[in-house]
Every structure is written in structure tokens, then in C-alpha cells.
Chain A
């Protein structure tokens, strides 16, 4: 018997006596909140991202180009393909290994947990481009912010590679002291366009 057949047979024997709760997951109690009632999504999101010691700017959409130029401040940034017109604060730096940072859009953001999610679609770069540079500038449009995790999961496409980011990389492995910045970008800067 192949390992596959043997493991499947062992499972079938093991659960043979257990009550069959039916093929679908209809019996699962889902009494938790599907939607968050949040008065001000931008305010909650900004507060929760700041809790992770990330830098947050809230700017009017009209001001976005100028704000990104200020944030870039002459840094050599990777500018991924498909970045919306007008965002580029200057010429892009192609090599993530020598760049000072990376500027991206995002797919969705979660207010309650202060999380941004990249699906690495247009304007979001490859996984390496958003990981290797030491500084990640991410633009979040107000309409992309949802209240909680269930709303974010519902909006995302699982066939895409997804990276959920909640603050800069961190470790608490040495006497539980939080140290920001191990292997991922040490600085996370989130620009919320309202």
C-alpha cells in the first residue's frame, strides 16, 4: 500500500465510530461578529498601526502626490509595476537589494488589527521587492479599510500570494524585549489617503 493509501485508511478506521456531522460545515456555530461597527475606520486604523510603532500619515487624496514626495525625501525607492500615475516621487530604483526602500499600494487594510494586506497585484510589487528593502512605504486608500478580519478575508483572493503586515518586523526572543526590525523592513510608513 502506498503511504497515501495507508494514511487515508488509518484515518477512516480511526473515525469510523464517530458521529457523522454531515459533509458540509453547516453545523459550525458562527455566532461571532461578521462585521465590525466602527464609527471612524481611518482613525481606528491609524491608531492601531501606530501601536506597532509604525509611522502613519493621514492626507487628503488631492495631496497624495506631494505627501509621497515628502515621505520619499530623496530616498532611492523601488517603484513596482502598475503604481498609480502621479505617485512616483522620482525615478525608480530597480534593484531591491541596493534600494533604500519600496513604495507600494495595498489590497485591503484591517482597522481593528492595524494590518495591511498585499496581494502583490499591480502597484504592490513582488514578494521580494516588499521584503528586502529596509523601508516600506505603503499607501492605503480610505475605501480599502475594513473593520475586522472577517471582512478582510472575504475581500481577498486566495489564489494570489498574500502578505499580511502588522507593523515592522520584530522579535521578542531575547528576554522578551521587543526589538523592531530583524529581517523584514525595519521601518513601516503608512500613508492613508482620505
Chain B
């Protein structure tokens, strides 16, 4: 990954410590991750052949990666035959250059975008802005993030850290056409976004997307989504530019029978997501460009242990089960790829020269929950251990304190302090713990001390 800055500077323990203090964020994250986790478990449980699908998914991806050169050439030929144009980009700067030139050639100064992690990774919106082109995000969550001048914090629910009243405020402040009496009801907020974006969809001549899969055999691109903004972007504008990482390839059309089962169930916990669009080359007279992006991926491919991270289909199941992610939040990872997958992908794509990136392999308790849910069986703990050994020693130790343990322990430490305080409730001023604990609680959000007995409090909290 090139030097595009995303998320926070600093290092994982420091970022995580700040996030752990933010109780709104923690509440949102916990609710979201647990809800999706339960939905996923239910729909995965419906399929008696889940483990066979998982084994096939892993094997298909490994086979593709082993012959990536051949399959990319096959894809290029198929896309070209179907009237599309294929471009190759070594790094972020090259990809941004290609896209900016394509947009400028159309004479347009505005583009609509459908959620794409690859374009976030290369900082495309910022690069286009420098060239006088405004990129509008159309995914509801991305819109919230963009209008709030903020960073995504979850692969699937990027605005997971915002609650409804914050979203209402952002809309009222940043959307000129937001109705004056806008309430914070999610349906009303979604309706405001629908109206705001509809006119833009109809007006836009150029769209930029990513893709979940590319089929080498047929040249077909596949985008899974929920809201219909993807269909709008992929269908209505005259020019479509898709920026896709080279690892998103599948050899054959038939392989979709595996991944169209693995991805929706792992991702949103649905039997199928509302909309999936598939297109091959230029469709209905559209001008289609495919930008194949390396940006560090071939470096990951060269690592015998780490290359399995390239199997990732960005479902976010590993985030939703991760005890560290649940407490630290997505921003602490300082990259578009948060959670367990981010902890192994970011240091490999960007290298471990910064404190942040060197601290990421330590952002885990190695509990293995991520591996169990991963639909392509990436052994995330194995890669973490391998990366820890490779992390530059000084930087890692400075960042150190074994980030994950620290995050988990800070909650335990907080809990212990509260339990002590509840017994001495009458003597304790609100929001500040006595004696040696004072300095520690000075910067932390200590909840009101409960009146109930120590025993009741303990039981309730252990169960929660």
C-alpha cells in the first residue's frame, strides 16, 4: 500500500485506549457485532455442507493465486473480447492516474461511487479531488462517513460508530435538500438519503465501482449489495470504471456456486443479499474500463505464510467475532482493513516500518475465533504469529504492551475498580475513584456506581 493515510496515526494500543474510553462507540460496536454474529450463525447452520463449501472456497482461491498470471491474462482477453478495456496499475498512484485520466477524457467533473475498499485503499477520492473531480459516495453508510468528514470503521457497516441522532445532525448540516423536520427515525433518514442521491444518479455520466469477484473464463464482474445504489451506479451512467484488486479473481463461472453461498451468509447473515449484479464487458452501450490493481498484493503473494490473506473475500465475519475489535473499534487499526484481517493484511501490504503497522500483529489475543468463522479458512492466528516474529523489534516493543491483552485488561481493570467502588459507594465522589486509582480514572469514563449489592452487580455484569 502506498502512503495514503487512513484512520488514525499513532499505534494500535494508543488508538485502542482512546476508543475503549468512548462508551457510545463501544455500545454500538457490541450491539452490531453481536447482532450480525447471531444472524450469521443461524444461516450458516442451515447449510449441512458448510464445511465442504468452505474447503472448496479455500481450494479455489489457492489454485487461483498459484496461477494468478495465467488467469489474469485469460480475464483480460475475455473482458476485451466483450468490448471492455483493461488497465494495469502497479500501485495506488498509477491506479489513481489511470482513473483520473479516464474521467477527464469524458469531460465530467463529478462521479458517483459504489462502496469499494480498493478505492479507499488507494485514496482515490482525494486523488480525484486534486484533479478537480468530485467523487460522491452513494452507499448510505459511506455517505454518512463522507458527509461527516470521517473514516469508515467496519467493512460492512462503515458508519457503525455513529448513532441515529448523530446521523440526523450530519444530514441536517451537510445535505442542502434534507427536509427541515427530519426525525432520527432510521426510515426517515434512509428516505432523506434516497431523495438526496436519486437526482445525482440520474445526472451522473461516470460511475466508479469495485467488484467482489471477477471470472477469468468469461470476463464477468460481480457486485453484491443491499441498497440498490450499486445497481444505479453500474447501470445508469454512460461510463463505468471498476477498480479491482488482482486477487479478486475466480477461474470459472461455476466457481460462483461456492462463493454466492459463502459470502452473503458470512457477511450480512442473510441467505442472499438483496441485489447481485453481474456484467461482462460493455453492456447496453456502456463504456467499460477495468483497472487491475497490484499495490502490494504481489508482495503478499511472495510470502509463504502470509499469502493466504489474499484468499479474503471481505465478508467481515472475523471482525464480528473478534473480542479485540469489539472493544477497540475499526479506527484503531489505522487502515481501510480493520479487525483480524486488517491486522494481517495491512502490515503485509504497507510493510511494518511505521509504529502503527508494526503494532498491528499484536492486536490480537490469538483466540482463533476469526479462523473458525472465516469462509475461506484463513488461519489468521498463524499469520499473526509469523508477522510478530518479523516485526522490527524496537518499534514493536515501543508500541508494545501486547496490545490485545492491554485492551482486554483495561476493561477488566475498570470492572475491578467499579466493584471496589460499589462497596464504598457513599464515600466515593462520582466519576472519580479514590486514592491511587484517581490518576487512572481521570481520563476514563467511569459509569455511575450502582446502588445494588456487589453480588448482584457482579452477576449482572458477568452475564451481560
Contact = CB atoms under 8 A, between A and B. Distances in A.
Interface stretch (A5-13, A58-66, A84-92, A137-145): A5-13
A2 B56 contact: no
A127 interface: yes
A103 B31 CA distance: 39
A19 B307 CA distance: 14
Interface in A22-63: 23, 25, 27-33, 48, 51-52
A28 B144 contact: no
A95 B308 CA distance: 49
Contact of A182 (B68, B82, B228, B276): B228
Interface residues of B, number: 94
B32 to A, nearest CB: 5
A169 B227 contact: yes
B181 to A, nearest CB: 18
Question: Chain A interface: which size bin?
Answer: 35 or more
Interface string B262-293: 00000010111111111110011000000010
Interface string B292-311: 10100011011010010000
A30 B55 CA distance: 8
Contacts of A13: 302
Given A8-B69, A184-B227, A163 B275 contact: yes
Contacts of B254: 153-154
B63 A25 contact: yes
Contact of B261 (A8, A149, A175): A149
B272 A2 contact: no
Contact of A164 (B270, B275, B284, B304): B275
A74 B94 CA distance: 54
Nearest to A97: B202
Given A150-B257, A161-B279, A175-B164, A169 B228 contact: yes
A169 B226 contact: yes
Interface of B is mostly: helix
B257 A169 contact: no
Contacts of A166: 270-275
Contacts of B28: 175
B235 A127 contact: yes
B65 A15 contact: yes
Interface in B162-179: 163-164, 167
B49 A31 contact: yes
A158 interface: yes
Contacts of A150: 257
Given A18-B66, A28-B59, A162-B277, A179 B268 contact: no
Interface in B399-415: none
Nearest to B307: A14
Contacts of A170: 226-227, 274
Interface in A158-192: 158-159, 161-177, 179, 181-185
B55 to A, nearest CB: 5
Interface stretch (B6-14, B185-193, B339-347): B185-193
A14 B302 contact: yes
Contacts of A18: 66, 304
Given A7-B246, A15-B301, A184-B231, A174 B164 contact: yes
Contacts of B164: 174-175
Contacts of B302: 10, 13-14
B68 A11 contact: yes
B87 to A, nearest CB: 8
Contact of B63 (A7, A28, A163): A28
Contacts of B159: 173-174
B272 A177 contact: no
A115 B272 contact: yes
Nearest to A110: B272
B186 A183 contact: no
A4 interface: yes
Contacts of A14: 298-299, 301-302, 307
A114 B272 contact: yes
A153 B260 contact: yes
Interface of B: 28, 31-32, 35-36, 48-49, 52-53, 55-56, 59-60, 62-63, 65-70, 72-73, 82, 88-90, 94, 138-141, 144, 157-159, 163-164, 167, 186-187, 189-190, 193-194, 197-198, 201-202, 215, 218, 220, 226-229, 231-232, 234-236, 246, 251-258, 260-261, 268, 270-280, 283-284, 292, 294, 298-299, 301-302, 304, 307
10 contacts: A7-B246, A25-B60, A31-B55, A115-B272, A158-B253, A161-B284, A171-B140, A173-B139, A183-B229, A183-B231
